[in-house]
Structure formats: C-alpha cells, structure tokens
C-alpha cells in the first residue's frame, strides 16, 4: 500500500493524497479512499487492522504538520484523529504497538524533523485516540528517513537515515533490555554493527 507523496505527472513535484493498494493475488493496483489532505514525508503503519498516517509535509513550501489520519478496516474514508500533542513532524517512522488498553491503538514515532534542517533523536509513544505523545528513551543518533522494525521479541532496530541534510548514516541501533534474557529492567538503546554502506530513505522488511 502506498499513500500520498509526490508525483511528477505534468512536470515538477506535486504533493498528492491518493492511496493505492497492490492486490497480491492479481498483481493489480486498486484505488483506496484518499487521504484527507495532501502530504509527503509522513509516517504510516497499520494499527489494529487500520492504516494510520502521521505528520508529514503539506506542500513544497515545507509546511510540517502534526495531523493524524486513520482508515479503519472496512471504512470508506479516512477520519481525522487528534493531532500530535508535541506539534508537527516529518521524515519520522512509525511502528504499531501491540496492546489492548487504549481506545484506538498506539504507535511509536521515531526520529524525523519538526522543521527543515532540524533532525531529531526523539522517540514518542503516540496515543492515537488523544494525540498525546509520551517521551521514550532517545535514539543514540538523530535520524530522519530511517528504516525501523520491531522484532518478534519486541525489540526495535533502527538503521541508516539522514543525520542532517544530504548526509547519510551507516549506524544501526537496537532498543531492548540491557542484558540479554533480562526481565523487568529498563530498556536502552545500544549500538549494533554498522552497515557497510551508509543509506537513507530505505525500507525495512522483517
């Protein structure tokens, strides 16, 4: 599934709000309900079977937004959720959180930037029902355009990204227990072996 972004149709880069889904059985793209507003450089993930889009840039002028949209499973349109309590963010990555206590669901939001040229190391737990962002331990490195994935044991791995405009990272870090197999201990970020080649705006598969 792809949502928003830029198109070069007609010349130049134009932000769009279309959403498309690739039907794997037929290998055909199908149109989905469009985003409520145009955006690119946004974060997205699937929470409780619904597609969630968070933040991004609303135009080529670089307006960074904090709005949140959600397309629930079986619904015909995106609904607006409360905006992020800490303001706009773009270039971040979102990961769904496995829990059953919140009204709509939760997501981790990692890295990104609140405005052009200011890249963050922050990690927030976002309550999608309220928009409240609860700070979590910061990344070891400020990053945007990062690849991130949650492992089966719950640990989170972040790789690559931009540390500032035009400079890619090769570093990799993991968030998990400080001691392997430990329980009831505070989770921390620690370095993993770096990638052989620095890269940014890459995708993750697990």
Separation of alpha carbons 29 and 18, rounded Å:
12
pTM: 0.89
User: Which pLDDT tens digit goes with each residue over 10-54?
Assistant: 555 677 889 999 999 999 999 999 999 888 899 999 999 999 999
User: Which pLDDT tens digit goes with each residue over 55-64?
Assistant: 998 875 668 9
Separation of alpha carbons 24 and 10, rounded Å:
29
> Chain centroid to CA 74: how far?
23
Domains of the chain by range and CATH? Answer: 2-136 (2.120.10.80), 142-206 (no CATH)
- Give residue 181's pLDDT: 59
Per-residue pLDDT of the chain (206 residues; tens, 9 = 90+): 889 888 776 555 677 889 999 999 999 999 999 999 888 899 999 999 999 999 998 875 668 999 999 999 888 999 999 999 999 999 999 999 988 889 999 999 999 999 766 899 999 999 999 999 999 999 999 999 999 999 998 899 999 999 877 789 999 999 998 766 566 678 899 999 999 999 988 755 43
Q: What is the DSSP annotation of 64-122?
A: EEEEEEEE-TT-SS-EEEPPPTT---BS-EEEE---SSSSS-EEEEE--BSBTTB----
- Give residue 100's pLDDT: 87
- The answer to whether the Cα torsion of 86, 92, 95, 96 is positive or negative is positive
- Give residue 10's pLDDT: 53
C-alpha distances (whole Å) from 115 to each of 19, 42, 59, 68, 82 are: 25, 13, 13, 17, 20
The total of other beta-carbon atoms located within 10 Å of residue 24's CB is 7
């Amino acid at each position: 599934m792809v949502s928003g972004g830029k198109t070069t149709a007609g010349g130049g880069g134009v932000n769009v709000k279309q959403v498309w889904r690739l039907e794997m059985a037929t290998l055909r793209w199908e149109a989905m309900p469009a985003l409520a507003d145009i955006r690119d450089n946004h974060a997205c993930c699937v929470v409780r079977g619904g597609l969630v889009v968070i933040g991004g840039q609303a135009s080529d002028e670089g307006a960074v937004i904090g709005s949140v949209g959600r397309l629930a499973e079986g619904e015909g349109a995106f609904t607006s959720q409360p905006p992020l309590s800490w303001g706009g963010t773009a270039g971040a990555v979102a990961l769904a959180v496995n829990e059953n206590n919140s009204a709509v669901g939760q997501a981790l939001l990692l890295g990104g930037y609140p405005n052009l040229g200011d890249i963050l190391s922050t990690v927030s737990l976002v309550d999608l029902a309220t928009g409240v962002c609860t700070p979590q331990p910061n990344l070891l490195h400020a990053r945007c355009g990062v690849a991130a994935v949650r492992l089966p044991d719950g640990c989170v791995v972040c790789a690559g990204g931009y540390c500032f405009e035009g400079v890619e990272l090769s570093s990799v870090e993991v968030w998990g227990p400080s001691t392997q197999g430990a329980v009831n201990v505070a989770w921390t970020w620690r370095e993993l072996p770096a990638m052989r080649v620095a890269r940014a705006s890459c995708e993750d598969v697990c």
